Structure 1
Amino acid sequence: MRITCTSCNRELSVPDNKLPDAPRFKIKCPQCRKEIVVERMDKLDHSFTSASFDVSGVVEPEVFPPGARVAFLLIGEKSWRNAALAWLNAEKYYQSTASTAHEAMLKLRLNDYQLVMIEDREDYQSVLAEIATWPGLRRRTVNLVLLGHDAASLDPQISFRRGVNTYLSLADAARCAELMDSVLKGYEMYYQYLRLAHEQAMG
């Protein structure tokens, strides 16, 4: 979908599969930072009016330097959230965060992240359900980490059952740096295996 900023006239090209599944939404122009209200005619329910539709939540296409490593966090537990942000800063990751499941889903639809960390909470299950619908190629390029109370950190069985790359215990915030180093090494080994399998399949 092509979107033109009404303030600076910059044209943005947003892939259709990254658009929020909503009739109206807002984004910020990466050039002038002004808000753009976008209407999708294919999704528009004409029984709604502009006055009755809440566009208070801003969905921004995030702009990062080419080749940058970007992490997305949906973590409500403060000790893990703070520890993860500190580790990401030390590892030179750019970061994006959300405070609600709705905001998280909009960001995940609009942006690409290499690392996604989500707390295993009831009100975040819709985000995990959406990630489970991602096509295989997209899912394989995302290192998905789930944080919860149901198992010890790095337990491979619960990781497999929950469809994530790694499961970490919320009780282990003090071990964040050590555990996240293991998370990255494990994913790199997994990704190398995928590349090798792909090369062999291609002959």
Structure 2
Amino acid sequence: MNKATRQEMFERLRTANPHPTTELNYSSPFELLIAVLLSAQATDVGVNKATAKLFAVANTPQTMLDLGLEGVMQYTRSIGLYRTKSKHIIETCQALITKHHGEVPQNREDLEALAGVGRKTANVVLNTAFRQPVMAVDTHIFRVSNRTGLAKGKNVREVEDKLMQNIPKEFLMDAHHWLILHGRYTCKAQKPQCETCIINDLCDYPIQK
């Protein structure tokens, strides 16, 4: 995919959705961090159902710690791997209080030092909560990037690096959300909706030819 095609691709995505954002519900960087921690191998809808009740009683590191592990699990048990994720939440809250004055750090190194936080989670928080031009690559974005020819790679980091290089700078801030939504609702894993895709004429995927 050449530079002109990439420009056209993102212009169309921006026109269709000028202000994209995450489908996770949150009202603070801390709530977003917890929601993203819970979202691995889970749907945003499922996470939102759980966090709606959880955040109503605990939406700061201290109030989350006050709930305790068993208390957190009462709200997260509907989510896959909830025991491990709840343990990570407690450990992360402890670290936020002891090392970061109860605030979510705004740099990747400190975020990745938190329990359960990998590069993808850190990038989501940096981009969505703190508006930093970074790229979190999940399964949807990995699929869309390879299928379209936007950024082909054999692993997540390779795709992330190519996306950072290939995406025109004016679109980089919102590219994560455009690509994840496109993968979730149009460029689906099993049945891509090529006939209704707004970028199908720019895409390398053969099914729509």
Higher helix share: 2
Question: TM-score over 0.5 for the alignment?
Answer: no
Higher strand share: 1
TM-score scaled by length of structure 2:
0.28
TM-score scaled by length of structure 1:
0.29
